[in-house]
Chain A
Amino acid sequence: MSLKIFDIAGSALSAQSVRLNTVASNLANADSVSSDAASVYKARMPVFKAEAGDSSPDTASVRVLGVVESQAEAQKRYEPGHPLSDKDGYVYAPNINVVEEMVNMISASRSYQSNVELMNTAKDLALRTLSLGK
């Protein structure tokens, strides 16, 4: 049992945890308002890319190419009493879709679980191979 499965599943684990981190950051900042549209928090999301191995081009691990910021327009809300409101009484809230973020979180955690299961199976098989003839 080669240990390449661990590399592949491990790369997926770290990629999915980056995704979970961005979801956590987006949810935490869903209500972080700002006094101008430019400085408002923007939703972040990771970009995944399949990366073929050097020795065997048929198997690919996952790499996080980077984290991109959403281009969605900030929401303009009229809240003249807010300490961060601009001179016209508006505050700017990030355009984060909380439902979308929750769905993203569930998908990421399911994928994470699948990869953990994969590693467990691979570990069991490797241990059984090591104990051959005993």
Chain B
Amino acid sequence: MATDPLFGIHPDALQFQRQRMEMLAANIANADTPGYKARDLDFGKLLAAAQQQPAGNSVTQPGHLALDNDSLKAATVWRVPTQPAADGNTVDAQVEQSQFAQSALQYQANLSFIDGRLRSLMTAITGQ
């Protein structure tokens, strides 16, 4: 599915949002763990890396997002704390929750795009 031109970037974007939500979930889960540093995935960094990368092992087409461990690691950024905590934890539950909500919404938007493509396919197949 990921290499199918019909769906474009959306399956890759779904993967990215899923990875990002996992990371944000880990942040929220560790909101009370002393010394835990909150992390996030930077889509801009991932996209810039994907645009420079030629087609190779991890991607079949230039411009496709490579979501292997190395590229995800390169796109991982530490959250800059707004209110430093005495125990070294940098999780701000409100920030993480709003980012998670944003990510979930983008995931749903991507789902809608894929759903739309599938519907067009069905229309083409059934001819109705």
Q: Is the CB of A9 within 8 A of B22?
A: no
A-contacting residues, B80-108, CB 8 Å: 93, 97, 100-101, 104, 107-108
The size of the chain A interface, using a CB distance under 8 A, is 35
Q: Is the CB of A49 within 8 A of B33?
A: yes
Partner of B29, one of A8, A129, A133: A8
Q: Is the CB of A12 within 8 A of B28?
A: yes
Partner of A132, one of B25, B72, B118: B118
Closest to B72 in A: A58
Q: Is the CB of B118 within 8 A of A125?
A: no
B30 contacts the other chain (Cβ, under 8 Å)?
Answer: yes
Q: Which of B14, B18, B104 has the most C-beta atoms of chain A within 10 angstroms of its own C-beta? A: B18
With contacts A114-B28, A132-B118 taken as known, whether A56 is within 8 angstroms of B21 at the C-beta atoms is no
Partner of A133, one of B22, B31, B115: B115
B76 contacts the other chain (Cβ, under 8 Å)?
Answer: yes
B residues less than 8 Å from A105 (CB atoms): none
Interface residues on B, range: 20 to 34
Please encode chain B, from 35 to 77, with 1 for each CB lying within 8 Å of some chain A CB and 0 for all others: 1100100000000000000000000000000000100110010
B6 contacts the other chain (Cβ, under 8 Å)?
Answer: no
With contacts A58-B72, A125-B107 taken as known, whether A48 is within 8 angstroms of B33 at the C-beta atoms is yes
Closest to B121 in A: A133
A111 contacts the other chain (Cβ, under 8 Å)?
Answer: yes
Binding site secondary structure of chain B: helix
A70 contacts the other chain (Cβ, under 8 Å)?
Answer: no
B2 contacts the other chain (Cβ, under 8 Å)?
Answer: no
Q: Is the CB of A59 within 8 A of B32?
A: no
Please encode chain A, from 1 to 36, with 1 for each CB lying within 8 Å of some chain B CB and 0 for all others: 110110011011001100100000000000000000
With contacts A1-B18, A114-B97 taken as known, whether A50 is within 8 angstroms of B25 at the C-beta atoms is no
Show 25 residue pairs from A and B whose CB-CB distance is below 8 angstroms, ordered by the A residue.
A5-B25, A8-B22, A8-B25, A9-B29, A12-B28, A12-B30, A48-B30, A50-B26, A59-B26, A60-B29, A60-B30, A110-B93, A114-B97, A117-B97, A118-B25, A118-B29, A118-B100, A122-B25, A125-B111, A128-B108, A129-B14, A132-B111, A132-B115, A132-B118, A133-B119
